């Protein structure tokens, strides 16, 4: 379907979340009519304060696990707890939001003949044995571990969306998101960036799991949203697409940079590695580069500086 110049109505499920709210702001800036749906399980309405002042934004409380009765010409599914603390606190809700949410929105897209862009995750690769991770890698996932509600929920949702495309021709598009950070991240989401920033601003020791040698690739939220907009503009997308920043950092390197930018003492507390925690995570974004011209622009130092300023303002 792609994006066109007339004021198209877009549904964003999970609109009050970190990523969903940034996507809402971008869509409004581009001139779309936007309906935001969220059950506020982990979302926060303060993330939508700016959008709420826009007459072209319409928020409604709702759950994607129930039939969705909203007019829309394009759907973004951002609905699901996405941090370990949140998705492990209620694994039943996490799995059902991933799978039933994908089912309900697929039914809606089929009925309305519209495009569904689904936020999947790099967690579908599990603790990868292939590095960096390409879309054709099937993953190394524990189906019964503490993280399985999220990892396998997202994998099952991808199966559902692929089958809807194969069987019924529904225009489903799957984006696998790699570690993303930026303003509006929840303080207590258990993600390494938010944990480090909060502790750094409070001048507390940073918690390092293992020896800090595990690596991640951190993508600033504006770059990720640009990728999603690119996916929406395509005439079609076959197969999943990685979106993220391919620059790789160890957790120890991230900790040192956050301490520098928050002017906090260089102290650490060491803890055992969590179960099934990936040792390496870096996207191969060759497909996104080829199809979208996607290239992250915000360097980690600059993105962290912006994020720390937002955290400092909210903490104060």
Catalytic residues: 150
Q: How far apart are CA 213 and CA 198, in angstroms?
A: 21
Handedness of CA 37, 174, 42, 257 (dihedral sign): negative
Q: How far apart are CA 312 and CA 112, in angstroms?
A: 44
What b/e sequence results for 51-62 when a residue is b if at least 16 CB atoms lie within 10 Å of its CB, and e otherwise?
beeeeebbbeeb
Backbone angles phi, psi at 176, to 5 degrees: -95, 110
Other C-beta atoms within 10 Å of 69: how many?
8
Q: How far apart are CA 257 and CA 263, in angstroms?
A: 10
| Token reading at 82 | 């996405």
Helices vs strands, H then E, count in the chain: 10, 13
């Amino acid at each position: 379907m792609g994006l066109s110049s007339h004021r198209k109505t877009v549904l964003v499920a999970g609109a009050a979340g970190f990523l969903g709210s940034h996507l809402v702001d971008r869509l409004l800036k581009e001139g779309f009519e936007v309906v935001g749906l969220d059950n506020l399980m982990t979302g926060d309405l303060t993330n939508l304060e700016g959008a709420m002042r826009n007459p072209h934004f319409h928020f409604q409380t709702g759950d994607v696990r129930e039939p969705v009765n909203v007019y829309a010409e394009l759907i973004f599914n951002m609905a699901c707890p996405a941090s370990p603390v949140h998705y492990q606190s209620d694994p039943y809700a996490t799995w059902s939001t991933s799978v039933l949410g994908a089912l309900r929105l697929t039914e809606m897209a089929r009925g309305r003949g519209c495009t569904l862009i689904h936020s999947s995750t790099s967690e579908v690769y599990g603790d990868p044995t292939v590095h960096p991770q390409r879309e054709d890698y099937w993953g190394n996932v524990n189906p019964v571990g503490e993280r399985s509600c999220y990892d396998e929920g997202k994998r099952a949702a991808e199966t559902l969306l692929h089958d809807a495309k194969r069987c019924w021709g529904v225009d489903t598009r799957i984006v696998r998101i790699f570690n993303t950070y930026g303003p509006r991240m929840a303080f207590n989401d258990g993600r390494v960036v938010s944990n480090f920033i909060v502790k750094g601003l409070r001048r507390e020791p940073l918690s390092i799991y293992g020896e800090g040698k595990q690596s991640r690739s951190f993508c600033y939220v504006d770059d990720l949203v640009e990728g999603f907009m690119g996916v929406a503009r395509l005439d079609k997308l076959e197969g999943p697409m990685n979106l993220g920043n391919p620059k790789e950092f160890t957790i120890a390197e991230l900790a040192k940079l956050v301490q520098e930018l928050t002017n906090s003492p260089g102290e650490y507390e060491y803890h055992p590695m969590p179960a099934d925690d990936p040792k390496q995570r870096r996207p191969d974004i060759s497909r996104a580069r080829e199809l979208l011209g996607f290239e992250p622009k915000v360097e980690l130092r600059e993105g962290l500086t912006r994020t720390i300023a937002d955290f400092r303002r909210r903490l104060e």
